[in-house]
Structure 1
């Protein structure tokens, strides 16, 4: 497929206009759609084309009314809707946001299998306002949510095309993207999208007259309120004579326009034409209605969201004829239900805008009100009507085509076929012989601005003569004269931007001698200026087109345009020049530099270079190969490169200087351990080298080389020497700025690994719980022998250093068996070391299983003892003499004996020693038992005789060492004395008579009855109980359960009571006790 030049398209369009009387916006060549390889998806999609209206002969002062839109589809599956949209775009598109002008369509696509053209015929045209330069026409696809069919739609194109196709959608492209720039480019997509319509000018031209109070089509939004429930009328009034319509002429209105900022869907409008007089609105009557358009329903529109106010164009089904003699009319746009916000222009002719409410809920109800009295002074509502003028009494009618942008005014007379001859007088005698004409449709170039009376003396073919007279307001159209391109030097090399464009002469050039004109400048980025800053900075790099618009002050929409270019003369590129540093071994700060390479790299046919010392002195080109710096160490050199064609030059500085090499740091020798005496060590520790170099020096690169001269990527740690016994490493320090370097060497020496012996384990007698003291005096000697230059350190297996191990008497830290590590190091190279392990083991002493004390009960008995240990045994008597060395012995003498057992194990002798006692004992005899009846704190004391160690008991079960028992209750006791060693016992029965001092008969199990203990064996004794008055309450049996506190079955009160007891031996004892009730 081929892209053709725009001129071809322009020729096609011109021929189409001539043939059809309408304008078709298209970039396609031909009308044969084909599939062009554009993919699709199931999601939302938009296809679009951009049209520059001037390319199609549409001037900036004309509206373009789009009446139909076409798109070609290659394939459809009947699962998606199609709609169209028209947008205004600027020169920044696609970066800028398109502004909506109108939309519609919403048709369900049928099943399509081969490319075919689909045409949208618009019920109401979409109005592209005058002043819009470029529009975007989009075709949008939306999936039909309730349709099971596929929503894929393949758009068609043509084989040849002159424009660019744009795409958005599929959840991938969220702004309009050229099909050339898609992930899979489709450079020849050539979307078949076009629009057909006609131009419309609100300026009067020929037989067409427009009553329009507004200046331009640049609409503003939200200038007057609306009513939620509708029923509003918005009006403009017109004096017909102001538009050249005399009282002898009818005005036949066939269309009307209104600007809309926002409208709810379903709103309907109609144009009403009323006759009014100078007393309006007081004299207004609905009976003066001349006629009205049909009612037109509007689609929802909101210019607040990415849109501009739209112009609604209503073509009347039945034209409204304003009769002759009508001087003034009111054009009202009546709005039905729902809300609508009309739009306005900033500037109009000063006529009044009126508002009237037909809805009781909104003001002003039932009457017309000047919007200036409502607090909305900007409501210069965009309302106009267009029609033709018909003279009632004349057979002929003059038409004047006075288009603001044209220098010549065209005149004509209707009913031309009946004209025999005509003579024109343009009322411009200053134009000389050109003031008159006999042509049927002459043009006239008026000599100056002003109001002219035009007459046409017409002779009809029937011989009749009519004199036609009209006036016209002539204003010379603005002219934008050519402007010379402006050149300026680039401000900063490589940017394409200059901040020094001289714009001081532009206004003079573009205006010439014109006055009362408005100039608008539009830069290449779309920014507008009332005056260009001077100096000016371009916004588009390298070359920028500036558009200049010259308009009338009183009619800003009438303008002419021209362009000029801002041309940036690029500066020579000096970005690649680098500083030059030379190494100075003698550190005097001076060197000889060669600058010829810089000169060669910076020069060309039209570039001349110059070099300067820091003091400004120029360096001759002949000496550039031997430049000696004039300032010690560092000097700044300036290079100037001049473009000899544009005289633009660029300067930059670079440094020449001398650099001393880095300070080479002297490092100590390294010693590595040679573990097999082959002269090679794999254990040279290099970890601290990088900590010492480069020291405080900055921008230093460190390199390492082995003794073979090979550079290493990094310094290994540990390092292995290449040369036996003695080797070296070279360390190079390089200044990364200057490249200067210095070197130093590190000497690598090998040392032998210590030779050590395996020591024997050490043994010591267990002194308790597995701990012992070990003789470590000779351990070091056993491990290293007589070797010198070695150090030895002892560690536990947990890594704890044992500092006192070599003191000769070391106690183990772990019981029974502890492993020790001995580490031997070469004093000159501690990394060269050897280790050996040995154990500290405790030896258990022989076990002695005899008691601490033995006894015999009768004199003349003997004790036999025996030990099972088969070692060296010694028995010692009370006087320390050895009694026996046998494993057994028999003894009978009372006293302290001892036993010693020796055991030898692992070369050490361990002893166990124990003392024990032999005592005599015999059975006890009870001599006396002392106790007292009826005592408050009764005690029992036992007196015994006999040779032994005795213990005492009241019940024969619980024994104690002492013979005194306290707080003994009354009752029967078997007094028992026994020998602790089992040599016999003595027993005697006693009865202790006693009673409780109180009782609490409340059945809680404690002290519920009162009784005398210790008399149960005295069967003839009896007990009597009295109250405090001496009354006998009860007599008790000594073997009974006691008194329960009742008398004759009734409980006695809490009180003190008395008793008397008569014992078997005739003794009588009395006392008292307490009865306590809670």
Structure 2
């Protein structure tokens, strides 16, 4: 066996001699010595939260202490020989979550291999320490389900601030010989392996853990990673906001003309929900309505109403209700075109309501248009109905018309000729003059009478055309002719 006499690298020479030929050959061999990895034995102390002597260790947590060698490959084994020969039966496949197999303490070994394939073994002493956070030390934080741009208020997620609990934890721990850190984790596995610590406990959102989540705390030495305590001490509870249903009809309507008519505004709690489990605050046009604390509100005036529904847990939902006023119509003018081939009526109205119109039919059908075409002559009743239910107004109108003929044969039909659409109320002081074809005045009568029966001095006149002059009380004068048929 040859030991190099020069450190790290040395050249040696090999001489070969052949007795048969007496030939000699000399060859140079370069010897290079590569360094072993630098390794250190370490101790890892893990907390035991249930005092059974077993816990999960993250063996990689002290890799930098085990070997400062850059790019070293470190694998872990449950026996020294297994580490030396790289026995797959002794290999620890998941070093981030390794649970000791003997209570209280255990040794495992790290096989450190550098880039030159040189190997050295380090020993890891695993110690299980009972947590110093008592089981009775717990905290519960509650928050209401919130609403953000990427979150709705029904997903069981809210924002919590539990950074102040650090003070409470520090107060129950014994004085430490070295400073310690307090970290929070989403679950036990992360707390034991010291992975995925919650970075901002003052603005934590329980995403992925809706409605309720247990937060684990880990207290350890900042000097040597010794665990002082691990515990599921914090419970986060997200309370739901009250579920409020919108009104299917949208805007509510009150009637300005009916001050005794009230409508009921609903808070919107779904059917079957006990209303006494909530409190109610009502406002109108941003002003608080004193004494209104029920789940419903009776109103008779328009406005922007809101109700804040608050659960026993203090979570609130606001419902907005718009109440608009309607009213019966005010008729400003009715335009009538009569004494024509096609009579028309246009009803002009003002008011807050949504109106529909009918002619001579108080119960409809109604039309949305205020214009009536081809209206028969006579006395009519115009009806204007508020579609919102605030009432119907009506007005009597006169559409004047002249019959083109009459048949005075005592059969009960068209036995008299008279102007239509005139009565004591409408143009009652009008006068009708009837002439024959030669201009001779045959009859003078008033439209409120029964009319002309086609006789003169009791004698029936023959079938023919006759002329009339109508002088209306409203100042109009109309002339024309009609036929007498027998």
Q: TM-score band, normalised by the shorter chain?
A: 0.3 to 0.5
Higher relative contact order (CA 8 A, sep 6+): 2
Normalised TM-score (structure 2):
0.35
TM-score by length of 1: 0.17
